[in-house]
Structure 1
Amino acid sequence: MKKILSLVLVSALGGALTLGAYKLFLEKENKVVVAPAETTPAFLPTANTASKLYNLNEAPDFTVAAENTVNAVVHVKNVTLSSGQLTFEDFFLGRRPQRAQLGTGSGVIINADGYIITNNHVIKNAHELSVTLNKNSTYKANLIGADPKTDIALLKIDAEEDLPFVTFGNSDDAKIGEWVLAVGNPFNLTSTVTAGIISAKARDLEGKSLQSFIQTDAAVNPGNSGGALVNTNGELIGINTAISSQTGSYIGYSFAVPSNIARKVIEDIMEYGNVQNGMLGIKGGTFNSEIAKEVGVNYTKGVYVSEVIKNSGAEEGGLEKGDIIRRLDNVEISKFEDLRGYIKSKRPNDEVQVEVLRDDEIRTFNVKLSKTDAFSVNFIKMELQDLSDSFKEEYGIDYGVMVKNTENKWLYSNLGISKGYIITGINDIKIESIEDIAKIKAKYGDNIQEYIKKLEYINTHKERKEVIFR
């Protein structure tokens, strides 16, 4: 018994010695580090708002807007005549065979009397126009007028009863991300409705700041042109006009003329017979960080005024070179297309409130829009305009009028006179402004070119030339 107790005691003592040796010589020391109380723990930012599941009851309801719009959107058919292939018999008999071609598109009834808005390219070169309503009634359509620049046209049909129509909405109030419907007749599939959102505003497809489209991702295809772009209230906010595609069919984006521009165009056609274009009276471009750095301001949105046209509404209203236009009335101006789009919805003599940034201060001016023809004149198939003061100073030219556009093939082929040339004298009469051109036109009448015996001009190399006609 004593031997067993001795053995147990020795074993316990040996284990204790072994554990102590391990702790003392073999086990690594673990240090406990205590963070200071003021240390801020690292974290990732998260939203404070409580997440919630999408409520199906809050989803937009398109049914009423679609039903009303479908009945007001029509199928437009355009019959054009093109020259067919000339046969041997046609050649000797002096005949020119013509072949009928059919084009189709869409249109939107805008009042109960049968006025219909569509695209100019839908009815271009029409020999015969017809319109088919959603209820399959077909009517002959008359062209009231068209504007190729905005691609808007106005048709009229005579129906026995009042027609369903779409009311105009305010396209300036349309928001990016807002739900919209595109209604039209793609691929001759009548009464087709597609949905999407507004993906951009004031979009220019040509890169020349001449257009101001609403961009949407609602599916639009050939045949939709001239159809309606409406909001969820069923209000017309655009006329579907173009698609961005390499194949000719929809690949993601479509473009519509804003309703404010379309409405103004057709109202002008109905009241004046043509489109009344207003002009702010400035030259400039979209403001950006590069220009901001040059002028020393911490602002990168708006339109930079590089020049104020002499005797324009902008000059009379107080705008100056170097101003940065931020708003027109209550519409924010982020780029030049915003400005052009808003001005297109106005007429000459309309007054616009212009908010500008000048010398780090916000200032507001009232500007009356001028007529575009107040700054140019048509003369022997050339459009001429006054020289700006900055142009005269830069090139050392005291007087003359510049060729803005020309269709005078004779002057171009014989003298090279084209865009950018400066007319300085006619028949020894000094030409200082377009007023002098207007006086010459009034003196000689329609056959003015026959009376021109001497022409003085400056070419694009700034060389002075003189030509005497015998």
Structure 2
Amino acid sequence: MSPSSILRRHRVAALLGAALIISPVVVSFAESNAGLSTVAATTQTPAAGTTAPNGSFAPVIAVTKPAVVTITSIMKAQPQAGDDGSPLGGNVPFDQFFQQFFGDQGMPMPRTPPQQQGRRAEALGSGFIVGADGTIVTNNHVIDGASSIKVTLDDGTELPAKLVGHDAKHDLAVLKIKADKPLPTVKWGDSSKLMTGDQVLAIGNPFGIGTTVTAGIVSARGRDLHSGPFDDFIQIDAPINHGNSGGPLVDVNGNVIGINTAIYSPNGGSVGVGFAIPSDQAQKVVAKLMKGGDIEYGYLGVQIQPVTPDVAGAIGLDHPGGALVSQVTDGSPAAKAGIETGDVITGFGGQEIKDPKDLSRAVADVSPGAKETVNIWRKGKAIQISADVGRNAEDQKMASNGNEGRSPPAEQGLRVPSLGLGLTDLTPDIRDQLNLAGNQHGAVVERVNPDKAASAAGIQPGDVIVGVDQTPVRTAKQANQAIAEAAKSAKKSVLLLVDRGDAQIFVAVPFAAG
């Protein structure tokens, strides 16, 4: 695909400074889809006299702009695909960020062939001073991979910076510079009081042209870009571009209520859809990073999914909510605590869990080694258990499969007419075709009627049903009998536990739609 055709595609752009610059060509990166959700908030009342009578933001800018800095991250440029003048390949600095936060597809751009070896690359971004001693906050992706960092103050002074601490999951970093005098600072604001429609100002250095201020409003709260467990972005329409990354989003009182981090862009530039990390989230992380090093996250060891109305009806919950456990990692803190597949986690550490994202955040925020209470809905009853939280999942390894077992005699071609399924037993041949372990049991979905309930619910040929209404099944006959029993009850749907590829998920199939 040519660069020009790629540029025509829609993409989400992370703001890696003005860009990655390999003198003299600017290289920018982008892309992925963004999932969206909303949360409620309360209003924020502007302080009297903050703006001039004519509505100018000049008084706010006069106070905040001196504390905004430009950050130059310097790294040695590695040989890349495209050094001969062809489109730039994927192994570029910060590429790992895009894979983690926005998927593995980037926006390749042409690059000038190198004239000499040992050239260097510079990534330009923004930041803001929160301590008169030279403590600066920015995005992690602005300084990621840097061999050295330089900070340019608002008055043009250039100073070397030391990386104090950084965290990729929150995309935040703390730097420190030494100046011969106290530096101007900005104060943290309360992002929880923001409402859609509140006025905001974005300050930064877009494209390296110099400190720039843009104004807009809060367009939405709680945006989820699927970049990690902490997604809770403020969406704004104040124009931000490459280079604004790490700069402050301030309210009409001049307080920092967000950190500008990403844009949605169909053309590589601002179209009025930007995203900022809320200050309430950022301030807590920054306080930890100021102590130096990285942040350790809690780990429970479960795969979870939302509780839909159909799932709630199948397990006897009076309303959808919580996080449904579809799989428990062997040897994990969850397994040791007694959490089971099919449990719905409704509370953790005293916090109500409304959805899987709530649980991910709650667990990640807990320090490894802490003991927390877990509220669970299990087979029609509410119970409490205690779990010792482990270290984050990236440091964990999945346990290997157990000893291989023998399969029972196969019962071929059983049909489940009420759901529109054709089931068969797992045979050695089918195990090989589906790349399953020898000790895997369950009922293989052989056929799905496209006009019936199972198809509408997302059941696919090749799925392996290993549980029906939270009861394990080993054969097609057992699955058929369990579904038939569920159909005789007053339940509106049946809950199927399905193995699909490397994942295990619950699927609620309503009887009425069959």
Q: What TM-score do the two structures reach when normalised by structure 1?
A: 0.56
CA distance in 2, matches of 1:239, 1:73: 12
CA distance in 2, matches of 1:268, 1:347: 12
- Match in the other structure for 2:181: 161
The letter for the 2-side match of 1:223 is G
- Match in the other structure for 2:70: 75
* Within-5 A mapping of 1:43-62: none
* Alignment counterpart, residue 269 of structure 2, candidates 249, 253, 268: 249
In proportion to residue count, which structure has more helix? Answer: 1
2:321 matched to 1:301? yes
**1:243 Cα offset (Å):** 0.8
* Within-5 A mapping of 1:22-421: 66-82=61-77, 97-169=117-189, 179-187=199-207, 188-197=209-218, 199-201=220-222, 203-205=224-226, 210=229, 212-219=231-238, 220-271=240-291, 273-309=293-329, 314=334, 320-326=340-346, 333-350=353-370, 357=377, 368-372=388-392, 376=396, 384-386=397-399
**1:337 Cα offset (Å):** 2.9
Aligned residues: 329
Structure 1's 303 and 200: CA in aligned 2 closer, same or farther, altered over 3 A? farther
**1:201 Cα offset (Å):** 0.9
Structure 1's 261 and 354: CA in aligned 2 closer, same or farther, altered over 3 A? farther
Identity over the aligned pairs, expressed in percent? 31
Q: Secondary structure at the match of 1:107?
A: strand
The letter for the 1-side match of 2:233 is I
Structure 1's 186 and 97: CA in aligned 2 closer, same or farther, altered over 3 A? same
Larger Rg: 1
Q: Secondary structure at the match of 1:244?
A: strand
**1:385-433: CA deviation from partner (whole Å, max 9, x where unpaired):** 325xxx759x859xxxxxxxxxxxxxxxxxxxxxx999xxxxxxxxxxx
Q: CA RMSD in A?
A: 4.4
User: Is the contact made by 1:109 and 1:164 (CA closer than 8 Å) also made in structure 2?
Assistant: yes
CA distance in 1, matches of 2:212, 2:355: 36
- In structure 1, stretches of 5+ residues that fail to align are 1-54, 87-94, 377-383, 398-419, 423-459, 462-470
The letter for the 2-side match of 1:110 is V
The letter for the 1-side match of 2:235 is T
Q: Secondary structure at the match of 1:256?
A: strand
Structure 1's 199 and 342: CA in aligned 2 closer, same or farther, altered over 3 A? farther
The structure with higher relative contact order (CA 8 Å, sep 6+) is: 2
**1:239-273: CA deviation from partner (whole Å, max 9, x where unpaired):** 22111112111223222334455445444444352
CA distance in 1, matches of 2:323, 2:246: 31
Structure 1's 126 and 366: CA in aligned 2 closer, same or farther, altered over 3 A? same
User: Is the contact made by 1:308 and 1:321 (CA closer than 8 Å) also made in structure 2?
Assistant: yes
- In structure 2, stretches of 5+ residues that fail to align are 1-44, 52-56, 85-114, 407-434, 438-500, 503-514
User: Is the contact made by 2:223 and 2:235 (CA closer than 8 Å) also made in structure 1?
Assistant: no
